[in-house]
Amino acid sequence: MKITFTCLIFILIAFNCLTVSAQVTDSARLDSTEHILEVPDTVKHLESKFVSFIPPAVFIGYGFSSFLIKPIRRVDYSVYNDMQKDHPNFSSKFDNYFQFVPVVTVYALNLAGVAGKNRFIDRTVLYAMSEAIRSGSVSVLKKATHRTRPDPYNRQSFPSGHSSTAFAAAEFMAQEYGELSPWYGIYAYTFATATAILRVYNNDHWFSDIIAGAGFGILSTKAAYLIYPLFRNKLFHDNKDSNKSTLLIPTYHDGMAGFSFVKTF
């Protein structure tokens, strides 16, 4: 493997570590109980932490610049040529599984009794919001950019969906457990980075695709943690001096998962 690709991967991992260390106190604890009381507005805590949005913004900017700046696009071709020369027959399916490891780990830790930042309901809604933002933006961009993959089986290369899923999940785990230990975030981002690298090795994406995918994934989760406190406070604000109460219950019926929302006045 040539030194170019090695250096770029090192930069990616370094940015990941910067993201983890910068965001572990992004938002205050949002506790859900059966009768949910007023939750402190956490947006004011995020105002001083916007530095943590810089790495994903840089990732996305790098990805888009590959359409406009020829030297950056040449990096894509250089990495591709390195892969073909060193590992022409490489094939792995691990990227299909690694992308979900951080999310599975979050819920496994919760089942094991290791409490994260949020309770089950809040955490689940946050992840659902993150996925909605991520999948929507990635789907639109894949159709809009119409970039051919290195293995030209379609024209939906930019940005990498696997990478965005993996990094959204990594940021989710870092948000939930980063305050307990930075190693949780490092663990999650290691699987995310491995997923992205494997997408290049499997000849499914260009280097700029996975960088942009990482950015969109991280940003989607950060956006969910930024927006959700406002959304939640509006829905679940109870007056302690009244008989008002709110209940949000996960449901499953005929193969369909969802939530039941009940508010008494």
The amino acid at residue 190 is T
In terms of Cα–Cα distance, which of 169, 151, 171, 153 is closest to 161?
Answer: 169
The per-residue pLDDT for 149 is 97
Judge whether residue 190 has pLDDT over 60: yes
pLDDT at 129 over 50: yes
Least confident of 121-125, 222-226, 252-256: 252-256
Q: What is the reported pLDDT for 19?
A: 56
Is residue 160 within 8 A of residue 213, CB to CB? The reply is yes
Run of H or E including 228: helix 207-235
